[in-house]
Amino acid sequence: MTQIFGASSTTEDVLSGVSLKGKRVLVTGVSAGLGVETARALAAHGAHVVGAARNLTKAQSATTQVRADAERGGGTFELVALDLADLSSARACADQLNATGLPFDLVIANAGVMATPFGHTKDGFETQFGTNHLGHFVLVNRIAGLLRTGARLVNVSSAGHRFADVDLKDPNFDHTPYDPFIAYGRSKTANILFAVAFDARRRARGVRATAVHPGVILTELTRYMPAGGVEAMVARINEQAAADGKPPFQFKTIPQGAATSVWAGVVAEADAVGGHYCEDCHVSPVVPDDQAIDLVSEGVRAYALDPVHAEALWAKSEEMVGEKFS
């Protein structure tokens, strides 16, 4: 990590001078937003990118620029079907990828939903935990054998993990009043803990895993927020910023938001990011669970990096999906 990047760095900044020719990458959630830009940047620098999406028609339209930049940069791009809210789809996607026998150098688990109304996936899991965590848990573990030595897993999490730790006793809100952002927080904490446990299992053979917060970006992820919800959130943030003598909040652009995934996946040193949580193209400091923290300040909660907690989530996840993974 000889060059220093930060919150304003873009995917092109991070990948300047980097050739990814011969590298093969899987990116989930390529029908909009960060997933599209992540795939575009990697393919533009020569990578062979497999993009996964639930709606292939939408993804085909959204990735026109991805294919154009791939052709110019010497990369390739293809689509595969994946509905993370349906474990049969996650398993079918894994089967399709395994059938090719083609290895991966990088998997970016980018797809997700935020603050959805209360509901369940096809398999009966709370929507956000089931989609954001369990769908990826099954997919990634089923294709783990395709990860080359030196490969990486990047789980796209969020500062929203601070809303809540995982609840292993009531993951589906069967006994807890549902709150869309508490549910989102649980799922984003799960993304980090999954990376911690996966890294612990795979690093001996040179495969590392990390989790990232892309920043606050206006994408389709906000579609379930009530009218005026984003504006109200920004107003609260700016009120606190003014009281603290800080400048007003600014949204990241999509290329800035995708930069940390790309940085953690191909630019950062593996030992620096493996088993950690990153934001703004650097490893985040750990903030004790009892210390106050606001939505836009840096830091990861200690509970999200606890290896014992990560193992407990792994065991619970195996129980919920009915599969064991080494």
Question: Could you confirm whether 184 is annotated as catalytic?
Answer: yes
Q: Considering its fold, how many domains does the chain have in total?
A: 1
Task: Tell whether 6 is covered by a domain.
Answer: no
Q: Which amino acid is at 27?
A: V
Task: Tell whether 8 is covered by a domain.
Answer: no
Specify the pTM: 0.94
DSSP 231-280: HHHHHHHHHHHHHTTPPPP-PBPHHHHHHHHHIIIIIS-HHHHTT-EEET
Boundaries of domain holding 121: 15-321
Task: Tell whether 3 is covered by a domain.
Answer: no
Task: Tell whether 165 is covered by a domain.
Answer: yes
In angstroms, the Cα distances linking 309 to 18, 90, 181, 189, 313 are 36, 25, 21, 11, 6
Task: Tell whether 5 is covered by a domain.
Answer: no
Task: Tell whether 112 is covered by a domain.
Answer: yes
Whichever domain contains 90, its CATH number is: 3.40.50.720
- Tens digit of pLDDT at every position of the chain (326 positions): 457 899 999 999 999 999 999 999 999 999 999 999 999 999 999 999 999 999 999 999 999 999 999 999 999 999 999 999 999 999 999 999 999 999 999 999 999 999 999 999 999 999 999 999 999 999 999 999 999 999 999 999 999 999 999 999 999 999 999 999 999 999 999 999 999 999 999 999 999 999 999 998 866 666 666 767 667 777 777 787 777 787 777 789 999 999 999 999 999 999 999 999 999 999 999 999 889 887 678 999 999 999 999 999 999 999 999 999 99
Tell me, what's the pLDDT at 1?
45
Distance CA 172, CA 167 (A): 9
Task: Tell whether 121 is covered by a domain.
Answer: yes
Distance CA 324, CA 326 (A): 7
Distance CA 33, CA 254 (A): 7
27 phi/psi in degrees, rounded to 5: -125, 125
Choosing from 178, 184, 224, 303, which is the catalytic residue?
Answer: 184
Q: Is 286 exposed, middle or buried (0-12, 13-18, 19+ CB in 10 A)?
A: middle
DSSP 2-55: -S---TT--HHHHTTT---TT-EEEEE-TTSHHHHHHHHHHHHTT-EEEEEES-
